[in-house]
A and B are shown apart, each in its own frame.
Chain A
Amino acid sequence: MSTIANSNPTDGGPSRYHARSLVIWARTNLFARPIDVILTSGIALAAVALIWAVLPWAILDATWQGSSRADCRPDAACWAFIINRSGQFIYGFYPATERWRVDLVFLAFAAALLVLLNRRLAGKQVAAAFLILVFPFLSFVLLHGGIGGLPRVTTEKWGGLSLTILLGVAGIVVSFPIAIVLALGRQSEMPVLRWASVGYIEICRGLPLIAVLFMARILLPYAFPPGTEFDPLALAVVGIILFESAYLAEVFRGGLQAIPKGQAEAASAIGFGYWRTAIYITLPQMLRMVVPGIVNNAIALLKNTTLVVILGLFEVLNIVAAGAADPDWLGLHAEGYIFVGLVFWTLCFGMSRYSQRLERDMRSAERA
């Protein structure tokens, strides 16, 4: 089954076969009936008209280089704004000479992820161990510095797209184990554990993230001695984890409840205890089932990270909004928001495509 689904793109022969199949495909899908012909050509015309209207503004007449809005043509896009400030939009206030550290952290993350996700590459255990055991320390030491001759870069200097990704990754990865414990706790037969889990989930899920961040900003200083300073990034990460773990826990509970009772009964029949049943029988099946839910949450979380501006952190949206208020670049909100929109769409679409591939792989693995 899986061979049929996957054979075409990779071993497709010369393009003649492709071109002919494309014509056949178009005829059956786009031009089968008169109404299809009308709809297809109507949509195509609208698309062409839209591109025709936008292209001169967006590309042809646009300005790509300059140091302020005065260098840009007034009637076309001013991408010089994005290009000129791209370093700030990606790295925040991280010192220019130290930005290689951020690059290195994301390269290491990408490399480990690639090994982990690509079916053809070996060394998955090593990559997983690196990602969970070594990478967090390595990235913190690299980003924060202060030892081994690396200059210290305090967390309020972190910002831009790298901060957005950092918050998203930290939020999901740390919430993951907490959420599993909460989901198991909610189904536990021990009342105290169950009540505690239900209480945590219902309270944290009932609060909007924005309210949690407001409380961190406004109420926390009153609860500590005067003059106490809090690291805003730590507050943001803790707030996001509180919130996200409650949501993920409910996703996991849904998955656990979908597993037939017989599975656990069969496990106990062959002498498995609670933990062995969970680790070897229920959790693996549950995780396979909830991939779409996890990705859905990850996408929502990534977009929620824009709220950390309440703590004074400049993730990608707010650093671009600030850029567009700079007197030198006033009036370029459209360019800024288009850029931010593209960045978020790319990240979210990438996650969604990956989740679809993961589901496909898992389905074929089940059938194999």
Chain B
Amino acid sequence: MKKLTIVLAALAFAGAATNTAGAADGDTVKAIKARGELLCGVSTGVSTGMSTLDNQGNWKGMEVEFCRGLAAAVLGDPSKVKFVPLEFRVAFTTLQSGAADILARTATWSYSRDTSLNLDWAGVYMYDGQGFMVAKKLGAKSGKELNGASICVSAGTTSELNLADYFRANNLKFTAITGSTREQNQQNLEAGRCDAYSNERGGLAASRTAMKNPDDWVILPDVFSKEPLGPTVRQDDARFRDIVAWTLNIIVAAEEFGITRANVSELTKTSTNPEVQRMLGKSGEFGKMLGLEQDWAAKVIATTGNYAELYDRNLGNGSPIKLERGLNSLWSNGGLLYSPPFR
């Protein structure tokens, strides 16, 4: 075993010596192309609906698929992604050090993070926010009816502070029952130790799926905090940030224009809509403007589908989580998703 370790260590340093294409010199795309794969920072398989492992050990989830779409855009091949599992504590520093090209790891975009970490959020692929889950038989329709309730919440988190703010602002009283993990809070709620559980709605939906009988529980419509989750990149590479942002935009725009994973190759040939033609590379030189292939957007859509498909498969009704779209609907349906024009 001693020799084994020496060989391993030697291998690591040999790998280090041969792979010196710079990532921190600001040209992320060049580094990705030299390496032949995108380094995508994800969770350690614990972010339900965003990045988890299936029975065969393959990565799945909305953030995982976003990275595959980005690999399709940059390298033309959605399989050329290496997922870097990161604990939250090391996620931002790993991105800064260049050991990942992008972070797709349920990172909330906030003022202090954006300004002090030397990182940029290239958009938002999920507008999450804090809400309540209660037993259906409680009959509550809104959080404002929870006066005097005992509420489960994770100790020492922003959720706990947001909850206190919400009740103070509405002049209501509550008793906090604190747990340390999502599982613990979920079990406290199920065992009746509290009347409601407050967390981000994505987490609430996952907890609901984990209940013995998910149909007995409802997530109230109130959303009282902003948790915009988006892809995070280093601040020193505006070009790469553009590529990530427009990869997200193309997924949103595809839903707007009815382009799906199934019909994208068909529409590339037949669509008469000038904007769709520009998006899919039929007319104009829109690929070149980003330094990508002409058909990059078609490849992204062929990988992830449009936003509705992507969401439905991983978080929505096509998944066990069944979280309604809420703010994650197109602007034309009362949501916040809006892509600038392809012009």
Residues in A lying within 8 Å of B, measured CB to CB: 67-70, 74-75, 84-85, 88, 92-93, 132, 135-137, 139-140, 155, 169-170, 173-174, 177, 214, 217-218, 221-222, 224-231, 233-235, 237-238, 241, 309-310, 312, 314, 318-319, 321-323, 325-328, 330-331, 333
Contact = CB atoms under 8 A, between A and B. Distances in A.
Contact of A226 (B25, B45, B85, B210): B25
Contact of A325 (B23, B25, B48): B48
Contacts of A309: 44, 85, 87
Interface residues of B, number: 55
A225 B44 CA distance: 26
Interface stretch (B51-59, B241-249, B280-288, B301-309): B51-59
A139 B5 CA distance: 11
A327 B319 contact: yes
Contacts of B142: none
A328 B98 contact: no
Given A218-B93, A226-B22, A310-B90, A328 B15 contact: no
Contact of B5 (A217, A228, A237, A330): A237
Given A227-B24, A227-B31, A331-B209, A310 B55 contact: no
A227 B8 contact: no
Given A174-B2, A217-B94, A309-B87, A328 B55 contact: yes
A109 B8 CA distance: 19
- Between A93, A174, A229, A319, the greatest number of chain B beta carbons within 10 A of the residue's beta carbon is seen for A229
B231 interface: no
Contacts of B90: 214, 217-218, 310
Interface string B307-337: 0000000000001110000000000000000
Interface of B: 1-5, 7-9, 11-12, 15-16, 19-25, 31, 35, 44-49, 52-57, 84-87, 89-90, 93-94, 97-99, 183, 186, 206, 209-213, 319-321
A75 B94 CA distance: 42
Nearest to A328: B320
B55 A229 contact: no
A221 B100 CA distance: 11
B15 A314 contact: no
A330 B182 CA distance: 12
A169 B85 CA distance: 24
Contacts of A227: 19-24, 31, 35, 98
Contacts of A214: 89-90
Contacts of A221: 94, 97-99
State the majority secondary structure of interface residues on A. Answer: helix
Contacts of A231: 8, 11-12, 15
B3 A173 contact: no
Q: Which 10 A-B pairs have the closest CB atoms?
A: A322-B45, A331-B210, A226-B24, A231-B12, A221-B97, A234-B12, A136-B3, A312-B85, A136-B4, A234-B8
Given A93-B57, A234-B5, A314 B45 contact: yes
Contacts of A224: 16
Given A75-B212, A327-B48, A88 B4 contact: no
14 contacts: A88-B53, A92-B57, A136-B4, A217-B94, A218-B93, A224-B16, A225-B22, A227-B20, A227-B24, A234-B5, A312-B86, A314-B44, A321-B45, A330-B206
Contact of A238 (B9, B35, B99): B9
B262 to A, nearest CB: 23
Contacts of B47: 325
Nearest to B186: A331
Given A228-B20, A229-B19, A330-B320, A310 B87 contact: yes
Contacts of B97: 218, 221-222
Contacts of A235: 12
Contacts of A322: 44-46, 52-53
